[in-house]
Structure 1
Amino acid sequence: MLLFFAYGVSTDPERMKAEMGGFLSYQSATLPDHGCTFTYNAEYDGGATTLIKSAGEAALGVVYQIEPSQLALFEQVDEEYALHRLQVQVASELVEAYVLLPREEETLTLPTERYLQRVEHGLCQHHSSDEVKRYLQRGIERVLNSKEH
């Protein structure tokens, strides 16, 4: 079974169908010891969800079961990101999944309201609304507290 952990706008199953040709199944998941922030992305004209290492936090997302042939598509998504195999939490167990993470640190940038709504819409399909709002607010606070934004 090949698993891919998605975060940000990719948590919306409709987007995954359109961009990656679908999936076999999906369920909510978290990535331990990672947190959310936002880095500049020209496609969104503002910040896009990025995960960073953060002890004790858990990044919200969804794990998709995909076909092996789809893995190559993820490698081609953006040359600034690399695929990693990490342990993600699904229900009460840790499972290995592929995760796209930035190759190097980027400039922290606030997301547009439209982008933030898209991320919230996707995450709320898998996690509680209150949990999602707190999670995204922590990501925004990281940007606001950064010296580089």
Structure 2
Amino acid sequence: MSSWFFSYGTSADPSHVATEIGPVAESIPATIPDHRLTFANYRAEWGGGTSCIVPAPGLDVIGVMHKVSDDQVALLSNADPTYALVDKTARTAAGTVDVKVLLPITIGEFAAPADSYVGKVRSGLSAYYPIDRIDAHLKQALQRDALFDSMVAQWVNESAPQREYNTLFRRLLPWRGMVRTPWGGAWATIDPGDASELYKHDEEEIAIVVAGEGELRVDSNTRPIRKGDVVYFEPYCEHVVTNTSSEALEVLFFWWGGRDGTMWAGRPI
């Protein structure tokens, strides 16, 4: 037997659900009519209020339905004693569906959530809805015109580049925990005398040299590069960047498309 579990918060993302109850069989967008999203019940581990839904005639809550097994329903029921599974009716493109929704047993006054929490909700929903619809939905729930309270940034002193493609690779996009994007981005640093991994892929890509000098080979074409140069790589071309100077060579890469289309950005990073 299976049931539909409706998520309106951080668990809209199937990968997040999987960390709690295991992989789900199917996930589709859905709404619950005559309800609205809000934030309440401050929780220290989340740094602020957490999402919940309350009755509101004429409004809709956007979310995602996950098909779950009876064992997974049991896990949801016992995950947190302050929450309970409630039966609701959701609306999909195919019609109405009975769903189970996890709600706080007691819903307190509005409590502003942390920016990081809002970002997780936004990121999960962005796999299924246009970002402008998500932001309008969240702003209504937050009771304010701005989505975030503080400056959203990736500070260089807090970044954690990894060794990838024979470079020090700092992934920028999609912005983890904030929003999925239809493109990827990274800041690569190549040490003097080193070269990036010879690589080809099905995405389109551009490279922007932001510091240093070196040499770029695209298929059989080779030429020097320096700060300010911008180069386009068509799908499946071979490309390798070599640092021929005594200083670090820094290159911004942005890529998009490929066989997975715009949804490639849902890949874990």
TM-score normalised per structure 2: 0.51
- CA apart distance, 1:37: 0.8
| Equivalent in the alignment of 1:11 | 12
- CA apart distance, 1:21: 0.5
Q: Residue type matched to 1:32 in 2?
A: P
| Equivalent in the alignment of 1:71 | 73
| Equivalent in the alignment of 1:46 | 48
Give runs of aligned pairs for residues 87-102 of structure 1, distance below 5 A: 87-102=89-104
Q: Residue type matched to 1:13 in 2?
A: P
Indicate the structure with greater helix content.
1
Residue among 131, 134, 141 paired with 2:136: 134
Q: Aligned equivalents of 1:41 and 1:55: distance in 2?
A: 28
The structure that has the greater radius of gyration is: 2
SS in 1 for 2:143: helix
- CA apart distance, 1:47: 1.3
Q: Out of 124-133 and 104-113, give the one that drifted further.
A: 104-113
| Equivalent in the alignment of 1:115 | 117
Give runs of aligned pairs for residues 21-36 of structure 1, distance below 5 A: 21-36=22-37
Q: Aligned equivalents of 2:36 and 2:119: distance in 1?
A: 18
User: Mind listing any 5+ residue stretches in structure 2 that lack a counterpart?
Assistant: 145-269
| Equivalent in the alignment of 1:55 | 57
User: Mind listing any 5+ residue stretches in structure 1 that lack a counterpart?
Assistant: 143-149
- CA apart distance, 1:105: 2.2
CA RMSD of aligned residues (A): 1.3
- State yes or no: 1:2 paired with 2:3: yes
Q: Aligned equivalents of 1:79 and 1:42: distance in 2?
A: 17
Q: Aligned equivalents of 1:36 and 1:77: distance in 2?
A: 21
SS in 2 for 1:109: coil
- Asked which structure has the greater RCO (Cα within 8 Å, sep 6+), the reply is 1
Q: Aligned equivalents of 2:85 and 2:130: distance in 1?
A: 27
- CA apart distance, 1:78: 1.9
Q: Aligned equivalents of 2:26 and 2:57: distance in 1?
A: 29
Q: Aligned equivalents of 1:92 and 1:137: distance in 2?
A: 28
- CA apart distance, 1:95: 0.5
Q: Aligned equivalents of 2:116 and 2:125: distance in 1?
A: 15
TM-score normalised per structure 1: 0.90
- CA apart distance, 1:84: 1.3
Number of matched pairs: 142
Deviating above 4 A after TM superposition, structure 1's stretches of 4 or more consecutive aligned residues are: none
Q: Aligned equivalents of 2:46 and 2:117: distance in 1?
A: 7
- CA apart distance, 1:46: 0.4
SS in 1 for 2:38: strand
Q: Aligned equivalents of 1:119 and 1:104: distance in 2?
A: 21
Q: Residue type matched to 1:102 in 2?
A: P
